[in-house]
Structure 1
Amino acid sequence: MLDAASLFDLSEFEHASLFTEGDFVWSALNKLKSYMDKASYPELDRALIENGKPLTETVILHNGRYLPATGLEIIFDDATKGKLSVMREGTRLEGATVIMAGAILMGDRIAFGKGVLVESGAMIKSPTIIGDCCEVRQAAYLRGYCLAGKRCVLGHATEIKHSIFLNDAKAGHFAYLGDSILGTNANLGAGTKFANLKMVSGNIYIQHEGKEYDTGRRKLGAILGDDSQTGCNSVTNPGTIFGKRCMLMPNVTSRAGFHRAKSFIR
Protein backbone atom coordinates (compact mmCIF):
# COMPACT_ATOMS: atom_id res chain seq x y z
CA MET A 1 0.00 0.00 0.00
CA LEU A 2 3.00 2.32 0.19
CA ASP A 3 4.26 1.66 -3.33
CA ALA A 4 3.54 3.60 -6.51
CA ALA A 5 1.33 0.90 -8.00
CA SER A 6 -1.20 1.33 -5.20
CA LEU A 7 -1.38 5.09 -5.66
CA PHE A 8 -0.88 5.87 -9.35
CA ASP A 9 -1.67 4.73 -12.85
CA LEU A 10 1.68 5.30 -14.51
CA SER A 11 0.78 3.87 -17.91
CA GLU A 12 0.73 7.27 -19.65
CA PHE A 13 3.31 9.10 -17.53
CA GLU A 14 6.45 9.82 -19.54
CA HIS A 15 8.69 9.67 -16.48
CA ALA A 16 7.32 6.44 -14.98
CA SER A 17 10.86 5.04 -14.67
CA LEU A 18 11.29 7.22 -11.57
CA PHE A 19 9.07 4.72 -9.79
CA THR A 20 10.51 1.24 -9.23
CA GLU A 21 8.13 -1.66 -8.76
CA GLY A 22 7.96 -2.72 -5.12
CA ASP A 23 9.85 0.31 -3.76
CA PHE A 24 8.29 2.74 -1.33
CA VAL A 25 6.65 5.54 -3.27
CA TRP A 26 8.87 8.25 -1.76
CA SER A 27 11.93 6.58 -3.33
CA ALA A 28 11.05 8.48 -6.52
CA LEU A 29 11.98 11.68 -4.71
CA ASN A 30 15.33 10.16 -3.79
CA LYS A 31 15.96 9.54 -7.50
CA LEU A 32 14.63 12.85 -8.81
CA LYS A 33 17.88 14.83 -8.71
CA SER A 34 19.97 12.24 -10.52
CA TYR A 35 17.17 11.64 -13.03
CA MET A 36 16.90 15.32 -13.90
CA ASP A 37 20.66 15.89 -13.85
CA LYS A 38 21.05 13.18 -16.50
CA ALA A 39 18.22 14.48 -18.69
CA SER A 40 18.84 16.31 -21.97
CA TYR A 41 17.80 19.94 -22.17
CA PRO A 42 17.48 21.98 -25.37
CA GLU A 43 19.65 25.05 -25.69
CA LEU A 44 17.90 28.26 -24.72
CA ASP A 45 18.19 31.17 -27.13
CA ARG A 46 20.07 33.69 -25.01
CA ALA A 47 19.50 36.45 -27.55
CA LEU A 48 15.81 36.28 -26.64
CA ILE A 49 15.95 34.78 -23.13
CA GLU A 50 18.56 36.38 -20.89
CA ASN A 51 19.64 34.29 -17.92
CA GLY A 52 17.90 35.43 -14.74
CA LYS A 53 16.31 38.55 -16.25
CA PRO A 54 12.65 39.22 -17.05
CA LEU A 55 11.85 38.70 -20.71
CA THR A 56 11.41 42.04 -22.43
CA GLU A 57 9.14 40.51 -25.07
CA THR A 58 7.02 37.42 -25.44
CA VAL A 59 8.88 34.45 -26.92
CA ILE A 60 7.48 31.52 -28.90
CA LEU A 61 9.00 28.04 -28.95
CA HIS A 62 8.06 26.12 -32.09
CA ASN A 63 9.70 23.04 -33.60
CA GLY A 64 12.72 23.47 -31.35
CA ARG A 65 13.30 27.13 -32.29
CA TYR A 66 12.70 30.23 -30.20
CA LEU A 67 11.00 33.09 -32.05
CA PRO A 68 10.01 36.63 -31.10
CA ALA A 69 6.24 36.99 -30.94
CA THR A 70 6.31 40.10 -33.13
CA GLY A 71 3.88 39.70 -36.03
CA LEU A 72 2.28 36.59 -34.56
CA GLU A 73 -1.23 36.34 -33.13
CA ILE A 74 -1.58 34.58 -29.79
CA ILE A 75 -4.97 33.23 -28.72
CA PHE A 76 -4.80 32.82 -24.95
CA ASP A 77 -7.24 29.98 -24.39
CA ASP A 78 -6.96 27.03 -21.97
CA ALA A 79 -3.53 25.48 -22.54
CA THR A 80 -4.42 22.36 -20.55
CA LYS A 81 -7.12 21.59 -23.12
CA GLY A 82 -4.83 22.24 -26.06
CA LYS A 83 -6.53 25.53 -26.91
CA LEU A 84 -3.53 27.85 -26.67
CA SER A 85 -2.89 28.97 -30.25
CA VAL A 86 -0.20 30.89 -32.08
CA MET A 87 -1.09 32.06 -35.58
CA ARG A 88 1.11 33.28 -38.42
CA GLU A 89 -0.83 34.85 -41.28
CA GLY A 90 -3.87 32.72 -40.47
CA THR A 91 -1.95 29.45 -40.10
CA ARG A 92 -1.63 27.84 -36.70
CA LEU A 93 1.87 26.99 -35.48
CA GLU A 94 1.03 23.53 -34.16
CA GLY A 95 2.39 22.78 -30.71
CA ALA A 96 3.77 26.28 -30.15
CA THR A 97 4.72 27.17 -26.57
CA VAL A 98 4.33 30.74 -25.31
CA ILE A 99 6.65 32.34 -22.74
CA MET A 100 5.20 35.73 -21.93
CA ALA A 101 7.16 38.92 -21.40
CA GLY A 102 8.08 39.33 -17.74
CA ALA A 103 8.78 35.64 -17.11
CA ILE A 104 12.23 34.79 -15.70
CA LEU A 105 14.25 31.69 -16.59
CA MET A 106 17.34 30.99 -14.46
CA GLY A 107 19.94 28.50 -15.63
CA ASP A 108 20.28 26.43 -18.77
CA ARG A 109 18.49 23.21 -17.82
CA ILE A 110 14.87 24.07 -18.58
CA ALA A 111 12.73 22.04 -20.98
CA PHE A 112 9.24 22.81 -22.26
CA GLY A 113 6.87 20.49 -24.07
CA LYS A 114 4.41 21.52 -26.75
CA GLY A 115 1.57 23.94 -26.16
CA VAL A 116 2.85 25.24 -22.82
CA LEU A 117 1.91 28.68 -21.50
CA VAL A 118 4.29 30.48 -19.13
CA GLU A 119 2.69 33.66 -17.84
CA SER A 120 4.29 36.98 -16.92
CA GLY A 121 6.00 37.07 -13.54
CA ALA A 122 6.68 33.33 -13.32
CA MET A 123 10.20 32.45 -12.13
CA ILE A 124 11.62 29.12 -13.26
CA LYS A 125 14.95 27.85 -11.93
CA SER A 126 17.01 25.00 -13.32
CA PRO A 127 16.50 22.16 -13.61
CA THR A 128 12.84 22.07 -14.56
CA ILE A 129 10.93 19.92 -17.03
CA ILE A 130 7.43 21.00 -18.07
CA GLY A 131 5.34 18.61 -20.19
CA ASP A 132 2.91 19.28 -23.02
CA CYS A 133 -0.06 21.62 -22.53
CA CYS A 134 0.89 22.81 -19.04
CA GLU A 135 0.20 26.24 -17.56
CA VAL A 136 2.79 28.00 -15.43
CA ARG A 137 0.75 30.86 -14.11
CA GLN A 138 1.61 34.40 -13.04
CA ALA A 139 3.99 34.61 -10.04
CA ALA A 140 4.60 30.87 -9.91
CA TYR A 141 7.98 30.15 -8.29
CA LEU A 142 9.63 26.95 -9.48
CA ARG A 143 12.73 26.51 -7.35
CA GLY A 144 14.39 23.71 -9.30
CA TYR A 145 14.07 19.96 -9.61
CA CYS A 146 10.46 20.45 -10.65
CA LEU A 147 9.07 17.86 -13.03
CA ALA A 148 5.58 18.10 -14.50
CA GLY A 149 3.82 15.70 -16.86
CA LYS A 150 1.16 16.71 -19.36
CA ARG A 151 -1.70 19.18 -18.84
CA CYS A 152 -0.59 20.27 -15.38
CA VAL A 153 -1.22 23.61 -13.69
CA LEU A 154 1.62 25.18 -11.70
CA GLY A 155 -0.43 27.98 -10.36
CA HIS A 156 -0.53 31.63 -9.47
CA ALA A 157 1.72 32.51 -6.51
CA THR A 158 2.47 28.81 -6.00
CA GLU A 159 5.94 27.78 -4.80
CA ILE A 160 7.23 24.38 -5.89
CA LYS A 161 10.57 22.71 -5.18
CA HIS A 162 11.85 19.19 -5.74
CA SER A 163 8.44 17.82 -6.65
CA ILE A 164 6.71 15.65 -9.25
CA PHE A 165 3.39 16.31 -10.98
CA LEU A 166 1.85 13.37 -12.80
CA ASN A 167 -0.37 14.08 -15.80
CA ASP A 168 -3.31 16.45 -15.18
CA ALA A 169 -2.20 17.36 -11.65
CA LYS A 170 -3.14 20.90 -10.65
CA ALA A 171 -1.97 23.30 -7.97
CA GLY A 172 -3.77 26.36 -9.20
CA HIS A 173 -3.56 29.04 -6.53
CA PHE A 174 -1.35 30.16 -3.62
CA ALA A 175 0.00 26.70 -2.77
CA TYR A 176 3.32 25.42 -1.40
CA LEU A 177 4.75 22.05 -2.45
CA GLY A 178 8.13 20.88 -1.24
CA ASP A 179 9.45 17.34 -1.77
CA SER A 180 6.01 16.17 -2.83
CA ILE A 181 4.22 14.12 -5.51
CA LEU A 182 0.82 14.83 -7.03
CA GLY A 183 -0.88 11.88 -8.70
CA THR A 184 -2.83 11.92 -11.94
CA ASN A 185 -5.73 14.39 -11.80
CA ALA A 186 -4.93 15.40 -8.22
CA ASN A 187 -6.11 18.91 -7.41
CA LEU A 188 -5.15 21.36 -4.69
CA GLY A 189 -7.57 23.96 -3.38
CA ALA A 190 -6.34 27.54 -3.07
CA GLY A 191 -3.91 28.07 -0.21
CA THR A 192 -2.98 24.42 0.30
CA LYS A 193 0.36 23.96 2.06
CA PHE A 194 2.42 20.77 2.10
CA ALA A 195 4.77 21.11 5.08
CA ASN A 196 7.94 19.17 4.35
CA LEU A 197 10.21 19.68 7.37
CA LYS A 198 9.54 18.69 10.97
CA MET A 199 9.99 21.27 13.72
CA VAL A 200 12.36 18.84 15.47
CA SER A 201 15.43 17.27 13.87
CA GLY A 202 15.56 13.80 12.40
CA ASN A 203 14.14 11.71 9.58
CA ILE A 204 10.47 11.58 8.71
CA TYR A 205 8.67 8.33 9.54
CA ILE A 206 5.45 7.01 8.00
CA GLN A 207 2.91 5.27 10.22
CA HIS A 208 0.90 2.53 8.51
CA GLU A 209 -0.99 -0.48 9.88
CA GLY A 210 0.76 -0.32 13.21
CA LYS A 211 4.22 -0.14 11.72
CA GLU A 212 6.64 2.75 11.41
CA TYR A 213 8.72 3.20 8.26
CA ASP A 214 11.84 5.35 8.19
CA THR A 215 11.80 7.26 4.90
CA GLY A 216 15.45 8.20 5.26
CA ARG A 217 14.45 11.74 4.38
CA ARG A 218 14.60 14.85 6.53
CA LYS A 219 12.28 16.58 4.07
CA LEU A 220 9.12 14.96 2.77
CA GLY A 221 5.91 16.81 2.03
CA ALA A 222 2.78 15.06 0.80
CA ILE A 223 2.12 12.33 -1.75
CA LEU A 224 -1.39 12.37 -3.21
CA GLY A 225 -2.76 9.37 -5.05
CA ASP A 226 -4.67 9.69 -8.31
CA ASP A 227 -7.84 11.82 -8.17
CA SER A 228 -7.23 13.02 -4.60
CA GLN A 229 -7.94 16.62 -3.73
CA THR A 230 -7.53 19.18 -0.97
CA GLY A 231 -9.83 21.99 0.08
CA CYS A 232 -8.90 25.65 0.35
CA ASN A 233 -6.40 26.60 3.08
CA SER A 234 -5.73 23.01 4.06
CA VAL A 235 -2.37 21.83 5.42
CA THR A 236 -0.61 18.47 5.48
CA ASN A 237 2.01 17.51 8.04
CA PRO A 238 5.42 16.29 6.83
CA GLY A 239 5.19 12.74 5.58
CA THR A 240 1.53 12.56 4.56
CA ILE A 241 0.37 10.00 1.97
CA PHE A 242 -3.14 9.92 0.52
CA GLY A 243 -4.41 6.89 -1.35
CA LYS A 244 -6.49 7.29 -4.49
CA ARG A 245 -9.59 9.53 -4.43
CA CYS A 246 -9.01 10.99 -0.98
CA MET A 247 -10.51 14.31 0.04
CA LEU A 248 -9.03 16.76 2.58
CA MET A 249 -11.64 19.30 3.61
CA PRO A 250 -11.06 23.10 3.64
CA ASN A 251 -9.23 24.63 6.62
CA VAL A 252 -8.21 21.20 7.92
CA THR A 253 -4.71 20.01 8.88
CA SER A 254 -4.24 16.34 8.13
CA ARG A 255 -2.15 14.08 10.33
CA ALA A 256 1.01 12.57 8.88
CA GLY A 257 1.11 8.95 7.78
CA PHE A 258 -0.95 6.95 5.31
CA HIS A 259 -4.62 7.66 4.59
CA ARG A 260 -6.32 4.81 2.76
CA ALA A 261 -8.10 5.28 -0.58
CA LYS A 262 -11.34 7.30 -0.52
CA SER A 263 -10.58 8.75 2.92
CA PHE A 264 -12.60 11.80 3.87
CA ILE A 265 -10.44 13.92 6.18
CA ARG A 266 -12.12 16.65 8.20
Structure 2
Amino acid sequence: MLEAASFFDLTEFDHKKIFQGTDAVWGGLINLKTYMNSQDYSAFKHEELLDGVPLKNHLIYYNNCLHSSKGCAISWDNVGKGKLSVLRDGQPLPGASVIMAGVVIMGQKIQLGKGVMIESGSLIKGPAIIGDHTEVRQGAYIRGYCLTGKRCVIGHATEVKHSIFFNDAKAGHFAYLGDSILGNDANLGAGTKFANLRFLPGNVQLRTDKGLIDTGLRKFGAILGDRVQTGCNSVTNPGTLIGPDGILMPNTTADSGLHPSKKIIR
Protein backbone atom coordinates (compact mmCIF):
# COMPACT_ATOMS: atom_id res chain seq x y z
CA MET A 1 0.00 0.00 0.00
CA LEU A 2 2.93 2.35 0.65
CA GLU A 3 5.29 0.98 -1.99
CA ALA A 4 6.19 3.02 -5.08
CA ALA A 5 4.10 0.82 -7.40
CA SER A 6 0.94 1.86 -5.51
CA PHE A 7 1.54 5.48 -6.48
CA PHE A 8 3.29 5.38 -9.86
CA ASP A 9 3.44 3.46 -13.11
CA LEU A 10 7.18 2.86 -13.22
CA THR A 11 7.19 1.29 -16.70
CA GLU A 12 8.35 4.30 -18.73
CA PHE A 13 10.40 6.06 -16.05
CA ASP A 14 14.11 5.96 -16.90
CA HIS A 15 15.19 6.21 -13.26
CA LYS A 16 13.04 3.49 -11.68
CA LYS A 17 16.20 2.01 -10.14
CA ILE A 18 16.01 4.73 -7.52
CA PHE A 19 13.14 2.81 -5.87
CA GLN A 20 14.82 -0.60 -5.87
CA GLY A 21 15.21 -2.17 -2.47
CA THR A 22 12.74 0.20 -0.83
CA ASP A 23 9.64 -0.91 1.05
CA ALA A 24 8.05 2.55 1.14
CA VAL A 25 7.65 5.12 -1.60
CA TRP A 26 9.72 7.75 0.24
CA GLY A 27 12.69 5.39 -0.10
CA GLY A 28 13.21 7.09 -3.46
CA LEU A 29 13.97 10.32 -1.61
CA ILE A 30 16.32 8.51 0.75
CA ASN A 31 18.20 7.05 -2.26
CA LEU A 32 18.16 10.23 -4.37
CA LYS A 33 21.55 11.67 -3.42
CA THR A 34 23.39 8.39 -3.77
CA TYR A 35 21.78 7.72 -7.14
CA MET A 36 22.51 11.18 -8.54
CA ASN A 37 26.07 11.24 -7.22
CA SER A 38 26.73 8.01 -9.14
CA GLN A 39 25.87 9.55 -12.53
CA ASP A 40 28.29 10.81 -15.18
CA TYR A 41 28.20 14.57 -15.69
CA SER A 42 31.48 14.92 -17.57
CA ALA A 43 29.86 16.02 -20.87
CA PHE A 44 28.51 19.26 -19.40
CA LYS A 45 31.49 21.54 -20.03
CA HIS A 46 32.09 24.56 -22.25
CA GLU A 47 34.44 27.55 -22.16
CA GLU A 48 31.47 29.96 -22.07
CA LEU A 49 29.90 28.15 -19.10
CA LEU A 50 31.27 29.88 -15.99
CA ASP A 51 30.26 28.75 -12.51
CA GLY A 52 27.67 31.10 -11.04
CA VAL A 53 27.91 33.64 -13.88
CA PRO A 54 24.97 34.34 -16.24
CA LEU A 55 25.57 32.99 -19.73
CA LYS A 56 26.37 35.70 -22.25
CA ASN A 57 25.20 33.66 -25.23
CA HIS A 58 22.90 30.72 -25.87
CA LEU A 59 24.49 27.27 -25.66
CA ILE A 60 23.35 24.20 -27.58
CA TYR A 61 23.54 20.71 -26.08
CA TYR A 62 23.78 18.16 -28.88
CA ASN A 63 25.22 14.64 -29.13
CA ASN A 64 26.22 14.72 -25.45
CA CYS A 65 28.28 17.86 -25.85
CA LEU A 66 27.83 21.59 -25.25
CA HIS A 67 28.32 23.81 -28.32
CA SER A 68 28.33 27.50 -29.10
CA SER A 69 25.12 28.78 -30.69
CA LYS A 70 27.07 30.67 -33.35
CA GLY A 71 25.49 30.03 -36.74
CA CYS A 72 22.37 28.49 -35.17
CA ALA A 73 18.74 29.33 -35.83
CA ILE A 74 16.34 28.28 -33.06
CA SER A 75 12.61 27.74 -33.42
CA TRP A 76 11.00 28.34 -30.01
CA ASP A 77 8.08 25.99 -30.54
CA ASN A 78 6.17 23.65 -28.22
CA VAL A 79 8.92 22.02 -26.17
CA GLY A 80 6.76 19.42 -24.46
CA LYS A 81 5.59 18.11 -27.84
CA GLY A 82 9.12 17.82 -29.16
CA LYS A 83 8.87 20.80 -31.51
CA LEU A 84 11.90 22.75 -30.31
CA SER A 85 14.25 22.80 -33.30
CA VAL A 86 17.78 24.01 -33.94
CA LEU A 87 19.49 24.53 -37.30
CA ARG A 88 23.22 25.11 -37.66
CA ASP A 89 24.18 26.69 -40.96
CA GLY A 90 20.85 25.44 -42.32
CA GLN A 91 21.35 21.86 -41.17
CA PRO A 92 19.02 20.41 -38.49
CA LEU A 93 20.39 19.22 -35.16
CA PRO A 94 17.80 16.58 -34.16
CA GLY A 95 17.18 16.44 -30.42
CA ALA A 96 19.28 19.50 -29.64
CA SER A 97 18.62 21.25 -26.33
CA VAL A 98 18.94 24.99 -25.72
CA ILE A 99 20.33 26.86 -22.71
CA MET A 100 19.46 30.51 -23.20
CA ALA A 101 21.68 33.48 -22.47
CA GLY A 102 21.05 34.72 -18.93
CA VAL A 103 20.81 31.26 -17.36
CA VAL A 104 22.98 30.76 -14.25
CA ILE A 105 24.55 27.35 -13.63
CA MET A 106 26.17 26.67 -10.23
CA GLY A 107 28.28 23.53 -10.34
CA GLN A 108 28.52 21.54 -13.54
CA LYS A 109 26.95 18.26 -12.43
CA ILE A 110 24.14 18.61 -14.96
CA GLN A 111 22.61 16.09 -17.35
CA LEU A 112 20.29 17.20 -20.13
CA GLY A 113 18.06 15.03 -22.26
CA LYS A 114 16.98 15.75 -25.81
CA GLY A 115 14.91 18.78 -26.78
CA VAL A 116 15.23 20.51 -23.39
CA MET A 117 14.65 24.25 -23.09
CA ILE A 118 16.21 26.20 -20.22
CA GLU A 119 14.95 29.76 -20.37
CA SER A 120 16.80 32.96 -19.52
CA GLY A 121 16.66 33.99 -15.86
CA SER A 122 16.53 30.48 -14.40
CA LEU A 123 19.15 29.26 -11.93
CA ILE A 124 20.24 25.64 -11.65
CA LYS A 125 22.44 24.20 -8.92
CA GLY A 126 23.84 20.77 -9.59
CA PRO A 127 23.42 17.92 -9.39
CA ALA A 128 20.43 18.06 -11.71
CA ILE A 129 19.09 15.59 -14.26
CA ILE A 130 16.61 17.09 -16.72
CA GLY A 131 14.77 14.67 -19.01
CA ASP A 132 13.83 14.88 -22.68
CA HIS A 133 11.59 17.75 -23.84
CA THR A 134 11.42 19.34 -20.39
CA GLU A 135 10.99 23.08 -19.92
CA VAL A 136 12.77 25.04 -17.21
CA ARG A 137 11.05 28.38 -17.51
CA GLN A 138 12.15 31.93 -16.76
CA GLY A 139 12.69 32.56 -13.05
CA ALA A 140 12.79 28.90 -12.02
CA TYR A 141 15.16 27.96 -9.18
CA ILE A 142 16.51 24.41 -9.07
CA ARG A 143 18.42 23.99 -5.82
CA GLY A 144 20.25 20.71 -6.32
CA TYR A 145 19.46 17.00 -6.36
CA CYS A 146 16.51 17.49 -8.68
CA LEU A 147 15.62 14.81 -11.21
CA THR A 148 12.94 15.03 -13.89
CA GLY A 149 11.58 12.55 -16.36
CA LYS A 150 10.37 13.46 -19.84
CA ARG A 151 8.14 16.39 -20.87
CA CYS A 152 8.13 18.00 -17.44
CA VAL A 153 7.70 21.68 -16.60
CA ILE A 154 9.46 23.62 -13.86
CA GLY A 155 7.83 26.98 -14.27
CA HIS A 156 8.15 30.66 -13.53
CA ALA A 157 9.04 31.47 -9.91
CA THR A 158 8.97 27.78 -9.00
CA GLU A 159 11.59 26.53 -6.52
CA VAL A 160 12.52 22.87 -6.40
CA LYS A 161 15.06 21.07 -4.20
CA HIS A 162 15.84 17.40 -3.63
CA SER A 163 12.80 16.21 -5.58
CA ILE A 164 11.73 13.81 -8.33
CA PHE A 165 9.39 14.48 -11.27
CA PHE A 166 8.00 11.49 -13.16
CA ASN A 167 7.18 11.86 -16.87
CA ASP A 168 4.81 14.72 -17.77
CA ALA A 169 4.75 16.14 -14.23
CA LYS A 170 4.28 19.90 -14.16
CA ALA A 171 4.83 22.64 -11.60
CA GLY A 172 4.15 25.56 -13.87
CA HIS A 173 3.73 28.66 -11.72
CA PHE A 174 4.86 30.01 -8.34
CA ALA A 175 5.25 26.61 -6.65
CA TYR A 176 7.59 25.27 -3.96
CA LEU A 177 8.65 21.62 -3.83
CA GLY A 178 11.14 20.39 -1.28
CA ASP A 179 11.93 16.71 -0.66
CA SER A 180 8.95 15.66 -2.74
CA ILE A 181 7.86 13.45 -5.64
CA LEU A 182 5.39 14.21 -8.45
CA GLY A 183 3.94 11.20 -10.28
CA ASN A 184 3.26 10.79 -14.00
CA ASP A 185 0.97 13.56 -15.32
CA ALA A 186 0.70 15.20 -11.90
CA ASN A 187 -0.07 18.90 -12.19
CA LEU A 188 0.30 21.68 -9.62
CA GLY A 189 -1.95 24.71 -9.72
CA ALA A 190 -0.31 28.13 -9.41
CA GLY A 191 0.94 28.87 -5.92
CA THR A 192 0.99 25.29 -4.64
CA LYS A 193 3.41 24.88 -1.72
CA PHE A 194 4.75 21.65 -0.22
CA ALA A 195 5.88 22.28 3.38
CA ASN A 196 8.73 19.92 4.19
CA LEU A 197 9.86 20.67 7.77
CA ARG A 198 8.00 20.23 11.04
CA PHE A 199 8.01 23.04 13.60
CA LEU A 200 8.95 20.48 16.28
CA PRO A 201 12.21 18.49 16.34
CA GLY A 202 12.32 14.95 15.05
CA ASN A 203 11.53 12.99 11.91
CA VAL A 204 8.33 13.40 9.94
CA GLN A 205 5.74 10.89 11.13
CA LEU A 206 3.29 9.51 8.59
CA ARG A 207 -0.30 9.12 9.74
CA THR A 208 -2.02 5.95 8.49
CA ASP A 209 -5.10 4.00 9.56
CA LYS A 210 -2.70 1.63 11.33
CA GLY A 211 -1.01 4.38 13.31
CA LEU A 212 2.09 6.54 12.95
CA ILE A 213 5.08 5.46 10.85
CA ASP A 214 8.49 7.05 11.34
CA THR A 215 9.71 7.92 7.83
CA GLY A 216 13.30 8.41 8.97
CA LEU A 217 13.29 11.79 7.24
CA ARG A 218 13.75 15.10 9.00
CA LYS A 219 12.64 16.86 5.81
CA PHE A 220 9.79 15.35 3.82
CA GLY A 221 7.35 17.31 1.66
CA ALA A 222 4.66 15.56 -0.37
CA ILE A 223 4.33 12.57 -2.66
CA LEU A 224 1.66 12.85 -5.35
CA GLY A 225 0.68 9.75 -7.28
CA ASP A 226 0.01 9.58 -11.00
CA ARG A 227 -2.46 12.19 -12.35
CA VAL A 228 -2.93 13.98 -9.03
CA GLN A 229 -3.98 17.62 -9.40
CA THR A 230 -3.70 20.50 -6.97
CA GLY A 231 -5.68 23.71 -7.17
CA CYS A 232 -4.22 27.20 -7.01
CA ASN A 233 -2.79 28.32 -3.64
CA SER A 234 -3.09 24.87 -2.08
CA VAL A 235 -0.68 23.69 0.61
CA THR A 236 0.44 20.29 1.88
CA ASN A 237 1.77 19.63 5.37
CA PRO A 238 5.03 17.69 5.83
CA GLY A 239 4.57 14.02 5.05
CA THR A 240 1.51 14.23 2.79
CA LEU A 241 0.87 11.30 0.43
CA ILE A 242 -1.94 11.53 -2.14
CA GLY A 243 -2.81 8.42 -4.11
CA PRO A 244 -3.31 8.32 -7.89
CA ASP A 245 -6.07 10.49 -9.39
CA GLY A 246 -6.53 12.46 -6.19
CA ILE A 247 -7.47 16.13 -6.19
CA LEU A 248 -6.44 18.85 -3.74
CA MET A 249 -8.92 21.67 -4.15
CA PRO A 250 -7.87 25.35 -4.49
CA ASN A 251 -7.06 27.29 -1.30
CA THR A 252 -7.01 24.03 0.67
CA THR A 253 -4.42 22.65 3.08
CA ALA A 254 -3.91 18.89 2.99
CA ASP A 255 -3.32 17.18 6.32
CA SER A 256 -0.17 15.11 6.63
CA GLY A 257 -0.66 11.40 6.21
CA LEU A 258 -1.96 9.02 3.57
CA HIS A 259 -4.85 10.11 1.35
CA PRO A 260 -6.25 7.27 -0.78
CA SER A 261 -6.60 7.18 -4.57
CA LYS A 262 -9.27 9.38 -6.15
CA LYS A 263 -9.90 11.29 -2.95
CA ILE A 264 -11.02 14.91 -3.27
CA ILE A 265 -9.44 16.92 -0.47
CA ARG A 266 -11.56 19.95 0.36
* Bin for the TM-score computed over the shorter chain: over 0.9
Contact between 1:195 and 1:236, CA under 8 Å: does it hold in 2? yes
Root-mean-square deviation (Å): 1.1
For residue 22 of structure 1, report the CA deviation from its aligned partner.
6.0
Contact between 1:135 and 1:155, CA under 8 Å: does it hold in 2? yes
Task: State the TM-score, normalized to the length of structure 1.
Answer: 0.97
Does 1:126 pair with 2:126?
A: yes
Within a 5 Å distance, the mapping from 1:87-236 to structure 2 comes to 87-236=87-236
For residue 58 of structure 1, report the CA deviation from its aligned partner.
0.6
For residue 90 of structure 1, report the CA deviation from its aligned partner.
3.5
1:107-155 alpha-carbon deviations (Å, 9 max, x no partner): 1211101100000011110110001110001111110000011111011
- CA distance in 2: counterparts of 1:65 and 1:247, whole angstroms: 41
For residue 194 of structure 1, report the CA deviation from its aligned partner.
0.2
Look up the match of 1:13: 13
1:175-209 alpha-carbon deviations (Å, 9 max, x no partner): 00000000000000000000000111111111112
Contact between 1:147 and 1:163, CA under 8 Å: does it hold in 2? yes
Q: 5+ unaligned residues in a row in structure 2: which ranges?
A: none
Using a 3 Å threshold, how does the CA distance of structure 1 residues 213 and 253 change in structure 2: closer, same or farther? same
- CA distance in 1: counterparts of 2:129 and 2:21, whole angstroms: 23
- The structure 1 segments of at least 4 consecutive aligned residues displaced by more than 3 Å after TM superposition are none
For residue 245 of structure 1, report the CA deviation from its aligned partner.
0.3
Look up the match of 2:56: 56
Contact between 2:45 and 2:108, CA under 8 Å: does it hold in 1? no
Contact between 1:79 and 1:135, CA under 8 Å: does it hold in 2? yes
Paired amino acid for 1:51: D
For the residue of structure 2 that corresponds to 1:232, the secondary structure is: coil
Look up the match of 1:244: 244
For the residue of structure 2 that corresponds to 1:41, the secondary structure is: coil
Larger mean Cα displacement after TM superposition, 178-187 or 201-210: 201-210
- CA distance in 2: counterparts of 1:121 and 1:22, whole angstroms: 37
- CA distance in 1: counterparts of 2:125 and 2:208, whole angstroms: 35
- CA distance in 1: counterparts of 2:69 and 2:171, whole angstroms: 28
Look up the match of 2:34: 34
Contact between 1:4 and 1:21, CA under 8 Å: does it hold in 2? no
For the residue of structure 1 that corresponds to 2:37, the secondary structure is: helix
- CA distance in 2: counterparts of 1:106 and 1:263, whole angstroms: 40
- CA distance in 2: counterparts of 1:63 and 1:43, whole angstroms: 10
- CA distance in 2: counterparts of 1:129 and 1:49, whole angstroms: 17
Task: State the TM-score, normalized to the length of structure 2.
Answer: 0.97
Q: 5+ unaligned residues in a row in structure 1: which ranges?
A: none
Using a 3 Å threshold, how does the CA distance of structure 1 residues 121 and 85 change in structure 2: closer, same or farther? same
Contact between 2:241 and 2:256, CA under 8 Å: does it hold in 1? yes
Paired amino acid for 2:187: N
Look up the match of 1:76: 76
For the residue of structure 2 that corresponds to 1:79, the secondary structure is: coil
- CA distance in 2: counterparts of 1:149 and 1:64, whole angstroms: 17
Does 1:23 pair with 2:27?
A: no
Q: How many residues align?
A: 266
Contact between 1:5 and 1:21, CA under 8 Å: does it hold in 2? no
For residue 46 of structure 1, report the CA deviation from its aligned partner.
3.4
